[in-house]
Structure 1
Amino acid sequence: MWFDFAASRGNMKGRKQRDKLAKKMTPSQIAEAQQLVKERQPKDITLVVANEAEDKVVLAQVPAKQVEDNVLLDLVLKKESYKGYYTVVAPRTSISNYTQDDNVDAAAVRDEYLRIIRLVLLEIKIRGYDLKPLTEMLLDRNLHSTKLNLRSSPKAGYVVDYKEEYSRYFEEKGGGWKRLRAEHPKASGRTRISLPAYDPQSPVLLIYFGTQFDWTAGAGFIVAYRYENGKLDELGRVQMWIS
């Protein structure tokens, strides 16, 4: 049970030990352990949440994992921002061409899964740390898109486009980048970000972050950070696309 609990919180050692032990257990024992973990998961946290899509501020029960995700997303977006400007963040998570919201060929998804793992392991080297389990966690968490629950912070360098106020510029006759820049001169680009994968034992954080600055200027990366004492230090990155 404790290995499964640790794995659910992003502990890589716990994940490995859980998988090793599961091979020796019967289906009923596995089911019992999973139920115990479910009963002992951290309680939801009551927070004041700004629902920007509906212009409401409400008390809401927020899952503990979502609180952790939001802290990490906020730090990454701040770190990747440009002073005096803000990026417009898509309201749903994704990883480049990997995240799928529609029915697609399973083999194609698997090929992309393996390709990303190969790229990350080839380009990002962390002494004494096996990045493969964390990369697998990142991909597992982002196979399907998830709606963000992150409050916009223009001063910190990002605005989440919940109302699609910015995406309308890129609809037919929307005016594109030229009109966006004319009406929002501090908007530096459009960003897509993934849910993070975090190993608190290392502590290593892995995340996808991609920004388009113009029709022919942009790039997307999977980035590894060391996360300690509320600060991020980059350990390496691999480029997923460029335009």
Structure 2
Amino acid sequence: MIRVAVVDDEPLARSGVLTRLRAEPDVTVVAECCDGHALATLRNDAVDVAFVDVQMPGMSGLDALATIPVAERPLAILLTAHDSFALRAFELNAIDYLLKPIDDERLAESIERARRQLGRSVASHWPERFSIRIGARLSFVEAAEVTWIEADGDYAALHVNGQRHLLRETLTVLSRKLDPSRFLRVHRSAIVRVDQVAEFQPRPNRDAVLRLRDGTTLRASRTYVDALLAALRHGHG
């Protein structure tokens, strides 16, 4: 069972996260806090994962996390409605960064990321190749050659060396199977291999335009931008 704490000074925001967490059968909420001082008392022998509001009166979520010794710090998933705090968040080993209002699918992805970090994911290894059915024959695509992946109804389309291969799997299901240090969701309809991003251009609405090494341009939505930016800055992938 994954022991979770929810730390947010806004009762409505806490309630929203708690409601979503109740749908996860392997998650139990062991603490509910309304300020950074309470967060600073939490340790990973009692709490595995903390959902932490970045901006709180008195002591911010980031400052509170920084007071906890690294070896005793729970995994952190940051929550914010404001400007980007991603770089400092990831310096504190936050495993994800969610923008308010929180998207259900993004929250589910962050919990799956926590499962992986804690070694409790059903996926014990990441796929190194994909099998693509073309009529009666199977074709194999190496994960290391996939540049990006797009949603195509109930299929995922793998883009490899200028070719497009359909995989009989939804993008959401596939995203939970991929190595998160190599592949990141950037939009509801797109996943990119992080090391293929050549250029990141922010937009006024906090979305971004990505240019990949093969010249492909993709839109990254604000829900995913901060996690992607932190991965790019830290050279993940």
TM-score (ref. length: structure 1): 0.27
Higher strand residue share: 2
Where relative contact order (Cα < 8 A, 6+ residues apart) is larger, the structure is 1
TM-score (ref. length: structure 2): 0.28
Larger radius of gyration: 1
